[in-house]
Amino acid sequence: MWFDHLQTNPLGLLLSADDPALVFHVEKALLDNISDSSDHLWCLPIVLKIIEKQRVDGSWLYKGKRPGDEFGEAYELLETWKMLRILVEMYGFTRAHPVVERAAEFIFSFQTEEGDIRGILSNQYMPYYMGAILEILIKAGYTQDSRVETGLKWLLGMRQYDGGWFIPMVMFKIQEYYRLWCEKPVPPKKELPFSHMATGMVIRAFAAHPKYRKSSEARYAGNLLKSRFFEKDAYASRQAVAYWFKFQFPFWWTSLLTVLDSLMRMGFSVDDADIQKGLDWLIQNQSAEGTWGASYGKAVNPQVDLWVTYAVCRVLKYFLQ
């Protein structure tokens, strides 16, 4: 069994968690229990608190600092994606729930004629957030939506010549960002090398899609990503090697865990030296209690270490069973 590779079997700890949503996912994904749908999670008190804060237009209000307001940054787009990813990834929400329908329509209202969803970087291209947003919409049941199809094709058209992605704004110093924020989108210089941070977020959309996860373009990008395990990114944003090991759940930034999760969904095999290297790191860095720690979100969710542990176990089960 996959947990025989670990010093400590984490299943008992996960199953005893004071979190019915986590226990539901553990039983379904790690124990292969035939279970009912996740509908019963939709009425949990913590979920109802999230739902009641959704606004009439489908968005959630961003309550942090807003230095980019005057430059057109769409803070509510970011906040709505954040809330939607919690509802979908942790509580199994789908487009069958009107909350998801309203949120999705709000997000799609930012889709341009070019096909990209734009706004978090004001009027500049944001392929990394585009991938992360499409991932959640696909998982929520929008696989067949023409707007998702258009977005995936836009991402394919934005690849660098080496087959990965980067963020065009990284070509400029941070001091120049706001000068360019509202200008015409800066196109990528496709001869520049890819960013594994950006590519890792983009590829999650392809990995979530039953058709596109099999595409040659997605698999090529997957091979690029695993070849960069434990290396510095090519660009200054989240460049340090340490970012490979900063985990969270639901996923946001690229890490060893998010990439292995994507490669799992794309059908990569354990018979690969890069993947084995990543799995070895996970096995060797399990805590004495049997968990893997989160680097973000502990103030909001005290159970986040257990959610990260669940996500790690999901990867280990796939590759090592």
The pLDDT tens digits of the residues spanning 1-54 come to 999 999 999 999 999 999 999 999 999 999 998 777 888 999 999 999 999 999
Contact call for residues 292 and 10 (beta carbons, < 8 A): no
Which of residues 5 and 301 earns the better pLDDT score?
5
Question: What is the reported pLDDT for 261?
Answer: 98
Backbone torsions φ then ψ of 84, nearest 5 degrees: -65, -40
- Give the range among 46-55, 136-145, 299-308 with minimum mean pLDDT: 299-308
CA distance 32 to 57: 38
Mean pLDDT calculated for residue range 303-312 = 97
pLDDT tens string 257-294: 999 999 999 999 999 999 999 999 999 999 999 999 99
Question: What is the reported pLDDT for 299?
Answer: 76
Taking alpha carbons only, the member of 142, 132, 166, 137 closest to residue 261 is 132
CA distance 300 to 143: 30
- Indicate whether 175 pLDDT > 70: no
Which positions ≥6 away from 54 have C-beta within 8 Å?
Answer: 60, 83, 99, 102, 103
137-143 long-range contacts, CB within 8 A, separation 24+ = 137/104, 137/107, 138/205, 138/208, 138/209, 139/88, 139/89, 139/208, 140/84, 140/88, 140/93, 140/94, 140/95, 140/100, 140/104, 141/94, 141/95, 141/96, 141/100, 142/95, 142/104, 143/209, 143/210
Find the DSSP H helices in 92-181: 98-108, 127-137, 146-157, 177-180
Average pLDDT, the chain: 95
- Domains along the chain? 37-237 (1.50.10.20)
Question: What is the reported pLDDT for 174?
Answer: 67
The pTM of the whole model exceeds 0.85: yes
The SS3 assignment for 291 reads coil
